[in-house]
Amino acid sequence: MSEKNRIIRLETKDDYRVVENLTRESFWNVYRPGCMEHYVLHCYRDDPAFVPELDFVMELNGELIGQVIYVRSEIDCDDGRTLPIMTFGPIGIAPAYKRQGYGKQLLDYSMEKAKEIGAGALAIIGNIDFYGKSGFVPAKNKGVRYVNDSEADYFLIKELKPGFLDGISGTYKDPDGYFVCERNPEGFEQFEATFPAKEKQKLPGQLC
């Protein structure tokens, strides 16, 4: 995809460190003092649930300004079935380019590609004010509960195939790969030490 000087393409190994640093800058002090998303991204590339066909970066005038990865996930249905879906993230935009529409452009492009390779639905923990613009709705409206909070308004879902969730009642939990920092805090600290030092700040609006 190309529009003027903006390009969305698959990530390559040569991009890895730049993308990790971009992700770190994008999430630093947003949800917590510092961030862990760059380590999650780093580890996910070797996770069986990772979808390399949906590992995208965005460039503007040759500068890498955005990234998104997709991961296979599932809904545990009340009738005993397991319904395969996908989730995504981290999705990050370099701080200098936030709130300019690039995040939605990257998300919408990647979702179309996810549909093309057969994904039936996407689930995400996020802000409805942002994700609602791309067609996400509270998952509880589609019969899908979040494992830690069945009434969560922040647990969102989007059908990529119309009717894919018809008649579904079930529970969703985050893929294990998102908890790598909790499982391996030493590995995270060692990884974080390879980046330039940044000040961790406790700011209003952080989740933890």
Helix axes 37-44, 185-192, angle to 10 degrees: 100
pLDDT digits (tens, 9 = 90+) for 104-135: 999 999 999 999 999 999 999 999 999 999 99
Domains and CATH numbers, the chain: 2-175 (3.40.630.30)
Whole-number average pLDDT of the chain: 95
Q: Compute the chain's Rg from CA coordinates.
A: 17
Answer for the pair 59, 87: CB distance below 8 angstroms, yes or no. Answer: no
Residue 76's contacts (CB-CB under 8 Å, 6 or more residues apart) are 82, 170, 171, 172, 173
Q: What pLDDT shows up at residue 176?
A: 94
